[in-house]
Structure 1
């Protein structure tokens, strides 16, 4: 019996040793090397108004009516006529807007839909909101109306439903007949793009959405502007002190009408800057301890009105502009900016001191891809037929590109 157990034990040991030796002689399975994959950075913008849609970017750009009509496409740029809201899309970063000629010439930036934002309106009695839902799901938004004397209680301002792929208008004259007013929109479901435009039979600039911020620079005030009005809206529950600096041709300074501004809680204030900007091409830097909304309304010598909101400074900006007359560059930083402006393949180099705005006259017949490249982030805009067209970030910094590493060794 003992001999049988010993023999069985020795046999088991022999099998185990043999198996171990055999496994040691087998070459390990080779693991494929890790692979880096760059994510596709698709962009889709909502264009809320009818007119001439102008888009600039890389690769194929498609302009499609929101109601499902025929789309227009182009490589690197697109120029399409639309009878209503539309979308701009591409598999890369792009910028765009809508140029309308009737009832007056105006520019409306195409926007990325958002679950929240703010629109500042000087005369709500003659204005309506256009709410665009370019997504495949229903959106539901609430509106808060911040007037000169505080928040306005308005029936019908909550639970506004917008079906997928459609737009809806909301008459501000019913909700807040007197101005100025800041309209804060918040989506409880989905996301939207919102602009304010004059009602039929009235003229004026279309107003785009603004994000509440503690520091923002509104660029694009043209030289020779005959009227400049600053709108400020405080969505918080606290009173806030606001600082305003003008970034002019040679220095930054405080315009006298904008000194000592104090915004009451949940209110909107209108400040007429008069002649305090001296007729210079300028920008306004607005700072506050809590996030507020800001917009600037300007009229030029030819009486064309534009409504401006803060942009995002960038090192590579662009826009597709018809008949460009001038380009102005604002440097909101603390170091000088070396800027190269390309108009119809002809580069112009300028240096913009910190805290100033430089205007460059250009002659560009027809439709032109304007591009600005700088060694520090700047803001830029073009003047076309008296209308201000902002230049936006058209090429992202490579460091912000989305990258995924596929490592087969990670299970």
Structure 2
């Protein structure tokens, strides 16, 4: 453990959260969306392209390019480079790797960017090639990608812990209320519990408003050496702790928990705070039941108590447990791999006090989680980070 008063990520700051407004469909390429995000990072900070000496990129639709090809496209000359193909965990993984690169002196200014396009046929093509398990066991039977697999997990989770669709409705409805304050959210109309419950089934027990809407967009942030950031007048957030785990609890016949449960004690010990010290929470919300699972696995309640936790708390921006204050993917949209960055950019805005209409007053700490890379019967990847504003 670090010496008293220090954290494992001393010398690192996170800055300049960027969102490129989403579009339901786009004829532009993933390269175009990622390029816009890079341009915004430079416009919203005092840095020049020559100052960026590290690059981490995540995208499902960038093929045949990877991060290396983008360096030439964008005129960058970097000494540290990562292509991170981890879906909903891409943001956490990029943050962790970039922070360690900065600490090691391999880079001092890393641009972390995720972006995807969404042509009319993009989603179908992505499903076709998502994984070998998907090609062999899901897509040939006409199942539309992740929905069928997550329906099996959702049914098992709901039956095991007595979760009803009414309980999950509160999560989706609360996020829609938050999204109405976010100008970037694609969903502009309120959602009622009655509308949620009456929505058409997709794959039982998953219904329409349990699913994210594919779209095009990009998210980005900077990971900087703190001395370098100070020399350029950049105010950033502190990274208190992170965890990352892949293929956790493989002995479970069907997924009831994610890798967070394996490492949650380390997450809080590293940060020097407990769940009660978190002001806002941004979970990865590809489905509401996954969010409830994370409330348990991230230590806000015991396993199986997610139902009571949701019933007892107000999850809106002004509530007792501000959660997915941007509206999350369920109401903002899922711009491919950028969905794994959405919580990070929103959490960063919250602790920096620049979230605007979605700002939770007096936010000092934020917990952000990631989840993804569904194979046939479980999401394989999970991660989380705790960040804090600069003490005043």
- Structure whose CA Rg is larger: 1
TM-score, normalised relative to structure 2: 0.27
Structure with the larger helix share: 2
Considering Cα pairs closer than 8 Å and 6+ residues apart, tell me whether 1 or 2 has the greater RCO. Answer: 2
TM-score, normalised relative to structure 1: 0.26
Structure with the larger strand share: 1
